[in-house]
Each structure stands twice: as C-alpha cells, then as structure tokens.
C-alpha cells in the first residue's frame, strides 16, 4: 500500500477513480487529521482494517483492565520522556530537563538531594556520572510528586497512623466522600484494587500510596460514573429533552473556505451528537453533494456521508439520530437522495404517514433515523412547491466577499420543488416561523421551528413565556448567526433555560463539554442548593503552545456557574507563581443554585501573562452529575482533547438550602 497524495477538493472523485474498495482512512485523534491509504487489493484492505481495529481494542482493554495501573503508566511515560538516549538510565542532566518539561521550577540543589536519595544502587552511566535505573526513578518520581494535600487528608482520616484500616476507610467514604451507604466490603475492595504493598494488602490496610492511587482513579473523579450511560427517564415526549446537535457538521475549519469532511460526521456521532446537518446541492453525474453553499468550502458526496452515518449513528447511544436536511437539490437529485437513504438505512428510517396521536418518545425511537425537512401535503403524489423560509437563513444578505466575488441572496421567501419520494421518508417536518402565538399551536405532525441566534435572544428579552410555550408542542432549533464565519459558538445556556431543545453548535471549536442529552425536569417544591467548593490543588498542567522554551507557567483557576440568570456566577483563585506542576490554592467559594437541574459548573485554567492570559484547559460538568467529597477531574484543550496527566483536586459539598 502507499499514501495517496490527494487534494481535499478532489478526494471523493479520486477515490472512485482509484477503486475506492481498496482504500481506507486513518483518523488521528480529535484533531481529525487524516492519512488516506490505498492497498493492492480489497482483501489486503480488509486485513489491514481488521488488524488496526484489533490493535485499538487491545489498547482500550489495557486501559480499562485495572485502574490501579494509572499511576504506574504515568511514571513509565515520564521515564521514557526523560530517557533521551534510550539507554534505560537517567543521569542528573536528563532529570533536570524532565523537571523543566513538567512545568515546575524546582531549585537545582533540591533536585540533586532527591536524586542522590533515590540513587540506591550507585550506578554509573556512559558519561561516568551517577544514573537512576527504572526502579530508582520510581522512588525519585514519588518524592517529586509527593502531594502534601493528599497526605494531610490521609493523616486526618487515619488518625495520625501510617496506614488506614477498614474502619478508617469507612469513615473516609462516609464523611469525606459523602457516601452514606458505604460498607466494609467496599473498603476491602479498595485495598485489594489499589494497595501496592503486599503486606498491607494481607492485613487489610491501606498505605498512603494506595490512598493516592484510589483518589486519582476514574471512579473517584468529580463526574458520577453512573451518569456515563443514560440514566434519565426516556419515555417522555421528545419535546421534553435537550438534543445534542451540530451545525454545518461537515465543516472541519471555517465557514467560508474550509474543507468539508465525512470524518466530521463520524467524530460528532462518536461524541454523542444526536442531530447532524446535511446541506445538499446538485452534484456531477446525478450524485448530490454536501457543502456550504455560496462559499469556497469543498464538496463531499451525499452517499459517502449517509454510509458513514449508518455505520456510526448508534455507537455512542441507542437513541434516535436526526438528519437535518437543508435541501437545495433538483427533484431528480432529491429522488437520488431518497433512494440512497432508503437503500442504506433500510428499516432504521422512522416514518409515519398518518397524523400523530402523541409525540414519540426517545424510547419509541431507539435505533431509528429521523429525516428532518420539508413535507408535501398528504394529498399530493407528485412534486410540488414548498417554501424554503427556514432553510439556510444563517448566511447574511450582501454576502461576505470571497476572492472579490460577492454573492447576494434574495431575502424574500422562495419556493423549491420537493420530490414525493423524499417527502415520504421525512418524518420531522420543518415549519416556517410566523409568530410565537401561531407556532405554539399543536401540530398533527412531529414538527420543528428554526430560529436564529439573534431572534431567540430577542424573544428571551421581550417574550420569554410565549417562547417557552412553543416548546410544549414543538421542537425549537436554534442556530449560530451567519457572521460566525470562524466557527465560533454562541452560548446555548439561555436558549436551553427557556426550553429550546435543539441548540445547533459548531463541532469544530466546541469549547465546552455540553454534549449530553438531559431528561425532562421534575422540580421539587424546594430544589435550591447550597454549594461549597474548595479549589485545593492542580497537577501537571501543560504549557500553552506559544510558551517560550524553559518558561514555567503562573496558573490560576476561573470557576463559572451557568444556568438561569439568577444562578450565573463567577469566581477565580489567586495566581501561583512559577508552578504548573503542583500548584496549591486552598481557596473556598460558596454560592446558592436556585435551579440545580439546569446548572453547569465550568472550570478554566489560565496562565497569567502580561496583556492577555493564556488558555491552558477547561472542564465542564452538570451540577446534577457531581460526586461530593474530595475529587479530581481532568482538563481538556479547546479541541476537546483530554490532558490525561493533568488534574485539578477539589472538595465540594452540595446541600439543601
């Protein structure tokens, strides 16, 4: 096989011409960088794909097999990173370079003391200087990463002993972690899984090293592990749920010149997105294409996208996936679209030709594909005109100049011809917006109203109750303003708070982890909560990409509460100078949350710099998914890639007000 050097614009056509059945693509991480490969035969391609998938499965199993290996993995990665010449030993200079890369400003003299204390075997390297082998490096690394804040908690709950017995662990789970129903069997399981010392394990004791491994394990993190699967009641009407959605899903970069990629649909679906957008236009040889019309973005085949959706629609969730069709095709190519979807999806397509007695539920529509778009009147069996008033309203009039060629769009409502074949499989009806009062009226079809970002914001300010009434019977789809050509996202929280269920966001730069589906709200008479949050420390923060060589960051943490207007709040810690390795804050913030069902906590780590502070990472979590007590959580970059070794350590309690 060899790497295909293809331009993005020519890619779909070239793959067809070069026997597409022999090609496959490797997608690298959330950055969506791709390697296109062509094999000698279809059989060879299948062998490679099968082998690569098997290797990926083995890696995933190894990561999931034993949480107690996390710390060992971190140490091993640090050693390999520092062992520049690959001789299996580290001299003092290599260790100093490691300390710089780990974002810590430890004095050379102090580092030398730790190095000499760890050098038990007194080995000498090629350069005739002292070196550490792997076992000695583990000792050095444990000294380096010694976390006083964890040892203080350990001493508190062990009553000053050098170990925790079953009774101590039980006290920590109940009082420290707020697990009121904890029992002794759970304590023994913790020792068995996380205690590294054989003698302690045999005596049912937990050492400080075992306690540290337990606290950084995934199950003890801030996010409640039971919420990693759908835990809400999914038998209510679809209008009762927020739906994770993507706008212009196909675009990998900006909205005017960027490439369109099939892989963007795969990425969105694997992250749990339940509604994707397809902008469909006439293509060559009778094959419809997808791209951002009136721009220089590249084109991809409609059929390629449909096949990708079919393969990945239900990997992350069994609940329905909606294809939002923005239709600009001729009747002939609309019929081709219907033929492709019917052939590929088969009985996965949900369609109803009769009036709905009730709005379907997510449970009714498990593993179903919903086609959203225009529908013909039921009495019509031939193509007819329908309005496109809610179609592609996000490109402003007097369109932005691209290569000095301006394209103007008519602001008046236009008519498009609609194919009966496409109308027949369309089960979510796009309805043009007239007024809030008219839109609030019940519809015999499963329907959706589309509103622009600015229009929704205006209704929130002027008529919020009427806006909410519309959501009782219909879905409201909100989408970004056409001026957001850089793929930046609006803040969806105000729309969600007022009931808008389908908030279209650009998945290219989705900076917040808002990708979840939340069930309908069942509020008690007194649901207000008191939240007490202490930011204790951080661990191994990365450097900003634009940082200078040898620079050590000055981190601080910003905490913001998102929800109803009365719950919005912001806090920030002090700056810790020259320590991105293990900064400690011990700062406490207290606040009330009136509507906890809609509240999100967002943590942002920044590096203080003259002029503009540098973004390091963030974490966002629903208040309802938080585990109380002493908890860690990881950081993510702006492209939603996780920093696996970077952690923030907090203590949080949530009580009734």
The C-alpha atoms of residue 78 and residue 59 are separated, in whole angstroms, by 19
DSSP code per residue over 215-250: HTSGGGSSB-GGGGS--S---S-GGGS-EEEESSTT
SS3 per residue for 550-596: CCCCCEEEEEEEECCHHHCEEEECCCCCCECCCCEEEEEEEEEECCH
Phi, psi for 596 (deg, rounded to 5): -65, -25
Please write down the long-range contacts of 619-624, taking CB distance under 8 Å and 24 or more positions apart.
619/222, 619/513, 619/648, 620/512, 620/513, 620/514, 621/222, 621/223, 621/513, 622/516, 622/518, 623/529, 623/531, 623/563, 623/593, 623/596, 623/599, 623/654, 624/596, 624/597, 624/599
Burial 283-296 (b: 16+ CB within 10 A, else e): beeebbbbbbebbe
Does the annotation mark 89 as catalytic? no
Neighbouring-strand partners of residue 588: 534
Tokens coding 133 = 């082998």
Tokens coding 171 = 């006290």
**Residues 628 and 605: beta-carbon distance below 8 Å:** no
Helix axes 208-215, 70-82, angle to 10 degrees: 90
Does the annotation mark 247 as catalytic? yes
**Residues 246 and 276: beta-carbon distance below 8 Å:** yes
**Among 32, 89, 240, 247, the one annotated catalytic:** 247
The C-alpha atoms of residue 71 and residue 647 are separated, in whole angstroms, by 13
**Residues 352 and 427: beta-carbon distance below 8 Å:** yes
Among candidates 507, 532, 483, 542, which has minimal Cα distance to 256? 483
**Among 32, 89, 292, 562, the one annotated catalytic:** 292
Place of tokens 């990665």: 77
The C-alpha atoms of residue 534 and residue 589 are separated, in whole angstroms, by 6
CA distances from 494 to 103, 437, 439, 566, 641 (A): 38, 21, 20, 12, 26
Q: H or E element: which one contains 11? A: helix 11-17
The C-alpha atoms of residue 593 and residue 606 are separated, in whole angstroms, by 25
Can you say whether the dihedral through the CA atoms of 220, 222, 228, 231 is positive or negative?
positive
Can you say whether the dihedral through the CA atoms of 621, 627, 631, 632 is positive or negative?
negative
Q: So which residues are the catalytic ones?
A: 247, 292
């Amino acid at each position: 096989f060899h790497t295909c050097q293809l331009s993005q614009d020519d890619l779909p056509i070239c793959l067809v011409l070069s026997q597409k059945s022999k090609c496959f693509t490797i997608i690298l991480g959330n950055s969506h960088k791709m390697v296109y490969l062509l094999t000698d035969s279809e059989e060879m391609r299948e062998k490679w794909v099968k082998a690569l998938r098997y290797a990926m499965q083995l890696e995933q199993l190894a990561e999931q097999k034993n949480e107690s290996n996390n710390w060992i993995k971190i140490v091993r990665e640090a050693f390999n990173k520092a062992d520049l010449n690959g001789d299996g030993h580290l001299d003092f200079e290599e260790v100093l370079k490691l300390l710089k890369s780990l974002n810590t400003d430890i004095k050379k003299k102090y580092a030398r003391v730790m190095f000499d204390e760890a050098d038990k075997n007194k080995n000498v390297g090629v350069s005739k200087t002292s070196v550490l082998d792997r076992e000695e490096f583990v000792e050095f690394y444990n000294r380096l990463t010694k976390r006083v804040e964890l040892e203080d908690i350990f001493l508190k709950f062990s009553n000053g002993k050098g170990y925790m017995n079953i009774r101590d662990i039980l006290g920590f789970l109940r009082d420290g972690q707020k697990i009121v129903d904890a029992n002794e069997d759970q304590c023994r399981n913790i020792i068995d899984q996380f205690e590294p010392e054989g003698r302690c394990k045999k005596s049912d004791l937990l050492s400080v090293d075992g306690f540290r491994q337990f606290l950084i394990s995934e199950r003890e993190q801030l996010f409640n592990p039971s919420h990693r699967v759908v835990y809400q009641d999914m038998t209510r009407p679809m209008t009762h749920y927020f739906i994770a959605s993507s706008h212009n899903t196909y675009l990998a970069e900006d909205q005017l010149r960027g490439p369109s990629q099939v892989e963007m649909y795969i990425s969105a679906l694997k992250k749990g997105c339940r509604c994707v957008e397809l902008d469909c236009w006439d293509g060559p040889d009778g094959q419809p294409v997808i791209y951002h019309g009136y721009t220089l973005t590249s084109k991809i085949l409609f059929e390629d996208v449909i096949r990708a959706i079919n393969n990945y629609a239900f990997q992350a969730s069994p609940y329905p996936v909606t294809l939002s069709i923005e239709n600009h095709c001729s009747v002939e190519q609309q019929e081709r679209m219907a033929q492709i979807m019917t052939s590929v999806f088969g009985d996965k397509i949900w369609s109803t030709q009769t009036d709905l007695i009730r709005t379907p539920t997510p449970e009714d529509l498990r593993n179903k594909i919903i086609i959203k778009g225009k529908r013909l009147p039921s009495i019509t069996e031939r193509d007819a005109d329908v309005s496109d008033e809610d179609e592609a309203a996000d490109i402003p009039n007097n369109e932005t100049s691209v290569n000095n060629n301006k394209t103007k769009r008519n602001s008046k409502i236009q008519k498009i011809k609609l194919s009966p074949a496409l109308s027949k499989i369309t089960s979510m009806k796009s309805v043009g917006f007239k007024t809030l009062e008219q839109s609030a009226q019940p519809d015999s079809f499963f329907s959706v109203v589309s509103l622009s970002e600015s229009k929704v914001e205006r209704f929130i300010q002027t008529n919020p109750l009427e806006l909410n009434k519309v959501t009782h019977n219909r879905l409201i789809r909100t989408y970004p303003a056409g001026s957001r050509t850089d793929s930046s996202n609006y803040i969806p929280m105000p729309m969600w708070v007022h009931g808008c269920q389908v908030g279209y966001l650009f998945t290219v730069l989705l900076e917040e982890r808002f990708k979840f589906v939340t069930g309908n709200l069942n509020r008690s008479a007194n649901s207000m909560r008191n939240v007490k949050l202490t930011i204790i420390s951080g661990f191994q923060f990365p450097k900003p990409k634009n940082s200078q060589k040898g620079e050590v960051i000055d981190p601080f943490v910003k905490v913001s509460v998102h929800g109803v207007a009365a719950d919005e709040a912001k806090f920030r810690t002090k700056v810790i100078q020259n320590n991105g390795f293990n900064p400690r804050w011990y700062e406490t913030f207290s606040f009330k949350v009136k509507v906890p069902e809609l509240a999100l906590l967002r943590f942002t780590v920044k590096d203080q710099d003259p002029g503009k502070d540098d973004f390091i990472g963030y974490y966002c979590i629903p208040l309802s998914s938080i585990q109380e007590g002493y908890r860690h959580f990881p950081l993510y970059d702006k492209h939603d890639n996780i920093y696996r070794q970077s952690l923030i350590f907090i203590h949080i309690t949530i009580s009734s007000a």
